[in-house]
Amino acid sequence: MKWLNNKVLIATLLVLVAVFVLTKLFRSPARERNLDEDLLRIDTTGITEVRLYPVSDKRKEIKLVKDGKSWKAVQQQVSGAADINAVTNLLRTLASLRPERMVSRKKEKWDTYKTGDTTGTNVTIFRGGNEERSLVIGKESGGHTYLRRNGEDEVYATNGYLSEVFNKPFSNWRDGSFLRLNTGQVTKISFHYPADSGFVAEKKNKVWMIGNERADSVVIGDYLGKLRSRDLSTFADDFSASTDPDVTVTIEGNAMTLATIKGWRRSFYQWVLASSLQPDVYFLDEGPLVAKELFAGKEKLLEKRTPAHKK
């Protein structure tokens, strides 16, 4: 009887061991709790280049290249200053990536999570010319983003929405700074327009004047407020300044030029704009909404006189 009980105990133990082994082998990867927290994290110190192939830009290659203390954004033949905030956010995100769980070990599941070779946004990091790491950023769901290390089958879920960090078109990586102006320093605005239609607004004894006429200080203040910090997002990379600008606005203060704005009229609906902040970068204004604000008319800035003031 004792011998029989021992056999039962041994059989039960073997069954339990088998169940444990099978559970380890076939359990859902989503239940994995012992993932290495540094599995996806990237040491961003010394990174010299990041290459992106965003789905939003038809997977066309975008290069972010370290250039001294700044960064350049490059796509094909177009190269320009990168948006430092966008680059900083990208590097910060790479340094903090942490897998929450594994969701699949199967290659056939890649496209389900948009982490396939052609369905995800590929991000490749270089350090000193050598490839450091390559990731595929996939779809977002329920507060998570799926991603995969290139060359590996496993797909992981990580907290947060990464698409807005990595899956952006080329224009969103570029520095769109157009104007930065300390409006409190401005004492003179010169509007150089065609056919002698230009004029000068100047602050004299704390009063804004246009010639011998008084300008509306509130309107002038509103105008300058629109120039204080202005970014544009549409670039005119096909434009070459082969002629003088059609209009120029020069802003001065303390006996020095604070900013210059130039405009070339392409059509009734299009202007090409440039400023002294990035003189070699041209922006396209369609509408034209921005040009209408920048190139103000004289009558708009003059003080409106009521009938009681008329002689």
| Residue 37 reports pLDDT greater than 80 | no
| Residue 28 reports pLDDT greater than 90 | no
| Residue 99 reports pLDDT greater than 50 | yes
Going by pLDDT thresholds of 50, 70 and 90, the confidence category of residue 110 is very high
Report the pLDDT value the prediction gives residue 165, as an integer from 0 to 100.
96
Highest mean pLDDT of the ranges 115-119, 178-182, 285-289, 303-307: 178-182
Report the pLDDT value the prediction gives residue 300, as an integer from 0 to 100.
94
Report the pLDDT value the prediction gives residue 26, as an integer from 0 to 100.
46
| Residue 218 reports pLDDT greater than 90 | yes
Cα gap 308→269, rounded to integer Å: 40
User: Mean per-residue pLDDT for 108-130?
Assistant: 95
Cα gap 140→226, rounded to integer Å: 37
Q: What is the 3-state secondary structure (H, E, C) of the chain?
A: CHHHHHHHHHHHHHHHHHHHHHHHHHCCHHHCCCCCCCCCCCCCCCCCEEEEECHHHCCCCEEEEEECCEEEEEECCEEEEECHHHHHHHHHHHHHCCEEEEEECCHHHCHHHCCCCCCCEEEEEEECCEEEEEEEEEEEECCEEEEEECCCCCEEEEECCCHHHHCCCHHHHECCEEEECCHHHCCEEEEECCCCCCEEEEEECCEEEECCEEECHHHHHHHHHCCCEEECCCECCCCCCCCCCCEEEEEEECCEEEEEEEEEEEECCEEEEEECCCCCCCEEEECCHHHHHHCCCHHHHECCCCHHHCC
User: Mean per-residue pLDDT for 129-141?
Assistant: 94
User: Mean per-residue pLDDT for 177-206?
Assistant: 96
| Residue 29 reports pLDDT greater than 60 | no
Report the pLDDT value the prediction gives residue 238, as an integer from 0 to 100.
94
Going by pLDDT thresholds of 50, 70 and 90, the confidence category of residue 310 is very low
**Residue pair 62/52 in contact by the 8 Å Cβ criterion:** yes
| Residue 19 reports pLDDT greater than 80 | no
Q: Global pTM?
A: 0.82
Report the pLDDT value the prediction gives residue 40, as an integer from 0 to 100.
83
Tokens of 85: 């905030």
Report the pLDDT value the prediction gives residue 304, as an integer from 0 to 100.
80
